[in-house]
């Protein structure tokens, strides 16, 4: 099914597509719509920006979607609405983490744009804002969007860029990019975990990172019951301090990264090879 209306795709010569996140909430506001041609809201809905793609053919008149410093001419800007309050290092997704759904829709939108404007998928023609400085040699001001996947923070920016281009290529080849298929390709491995002396048999290892079942964890450690909203979970580990972490869902279960929990407990996770156990605290 097409994500973009045909009338949103006027004939124009475009060189590349640059992806972003807004550093905002899950809904597109008017200010954000000024800066991008297409925006993907938290639920995966695609919203058209104020400026047309034609406005970015020539940017000397100042009337165009300004999404990337000194790289707006012949560039289409596609943006996921998310990541308000996010911190790069140590990574914190904030209360509106980029969702996998948004990311997959964004790949679908980019694929439709590649097809409409004859753009071949390369690191110079389909890239994240955070890749512009390296891939195009055009200096940016410390941009890192959208190069961290809150559901898989172990990936480097380079790996995320490559992964996104692979999703776009798959979409162009007509292969589905749905969550189930991705999960089926790379099922998580069940492992044990020990957190502050409590043992869990239902932790998982996925793509080299370990995740802990948030409900069992909170119960075993006597924490307040966690509250899940969208792609994140809020809980309190001691007293009144509230923590918000990115949530990983596998089937009906909800997990948080062992590394995030370790950070909250002021420690680092380790791997006990003999017993296949993730040890935290």
| Chain contacts with Zn ion (rule: CB under 5 A) | 20, 129, 145
Tell me the C-alpha distance between 153 and 29, whole Å. Answer: 27
Q: How far is the CB of 114 from Zn ion (least distance, A)?
A: 19
Q: How far is the CB of 129 from Zn ion (least distance, A)?
A: 3
The answer to whether 170 and 181 have CB atoms below 8 angstroms apart is no
The number of CA neighbours under 13 Å toward the Cβ of 174 is 0
Smaller CB separation from Zn ion, 105 or 132: 132
Q: How far is the CB of 135 from Zn ion (least distance, A)?
A: 14
Closest CA to 259 of 247, 246, 274, 269: 269
Q: How far is the CB of 68 from Zn ion (least distance, A)?
A: 6
Place of tokens 């899940």: 228
Smaller CB separation from Zn ion, 145 or 260: 145
Tell me the C-alpha distance between 158 and 71, whole Å. Answer: 20
The answer to whether 55 and 25 have CB atoms below 8 angstroms apart is no
Place of tokens 């189930």: 180
Tell me the C-alpha distance between 39 and 37, whole Å. Answer: 7
Smaller CB separation from Zn ion, 147 or 214: 147
What is the longest distance spanned by two Cα atoms in the chain? 65
Q: How far is the CB of 20 from Zn ion (least distance, A)?
A: 3
Smaller CB separation from Zn ion, 26 or 255: 26
- What b/e readout covers 22-61, taking b as 16+ CB neighbours within 10 angstroms? bbbbbebeeebbebbbbbbbbebebebbebbbebbeebee
For residue 112, the SS3 value is helix
Smaller CB separation from Zn ion, 20 or 37: 20
Q: How far is the CB of 145 from Zn ion (least distance, A)?
A: 4
Smaller CB separation from Zn ion, 51 or 129: 129
Smaller CB separation from Zn ion, 33 or 129: 129
Q: How far is the CB of 50 from Zn ion (least distance, A)?
A: 17
């Amino acid at each position: 099914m097409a994500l973009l209306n045909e009338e949103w795709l006027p004939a124009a010569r475009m060189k590349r597509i640059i992806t972003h996140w807004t550093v905002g909430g899950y809904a597109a506001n008017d200010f954000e719509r000024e800066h991008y041609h297409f925006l993907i809201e938290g639920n995966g809905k695609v919203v058209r920006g104020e400026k047309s793609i034609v406005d970015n053919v020539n940017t000397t008149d100042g009337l165009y979607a300004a999404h990337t410093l000194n790289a707006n001419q012949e560039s289409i800007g596609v943006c996921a609405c998310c990541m308000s309050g996010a911190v790069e290092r140590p990574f914190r997704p904030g209360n509106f983490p980029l969702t996998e759904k948004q990311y997959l829709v964004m790949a679908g939108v980019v694929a439709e744009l590649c097809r409409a404007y004859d753009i071949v998928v390369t690191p110079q023609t389909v890239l994240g804002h955070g890749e512009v400085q390296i891939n195009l040699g055009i200096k940016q001001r410390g941009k890192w969007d959208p190069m961290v996947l809150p559901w898989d923070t172990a990936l480097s920016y380079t790996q995320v860029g490559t992964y996104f281009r692979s999703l776009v290529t798959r979409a162009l080849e007509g292969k589905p990019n749905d969550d189930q298929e991705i999960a089926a390709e790379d099922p998580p491995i069940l492992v044990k975990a020990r957190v502050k002396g409590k043992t869990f048999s239902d932790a998982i290892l996925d793509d080299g990172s370990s995740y802990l079942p948030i409900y069992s964890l909170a119960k075993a450690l006597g924490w307040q019951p966690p509250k899940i909203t969208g792609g994140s979970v809020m809980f309190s580990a001691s007293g009144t301090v509230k923590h918000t972490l990115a949530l990983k869902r596998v089937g009906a279960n909800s997990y948080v990264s062992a590394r995030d929990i370790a950070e909250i407990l002021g420690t680092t996770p380790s791997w006990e090879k003999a017993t296949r156990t993730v040890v935290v605290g």
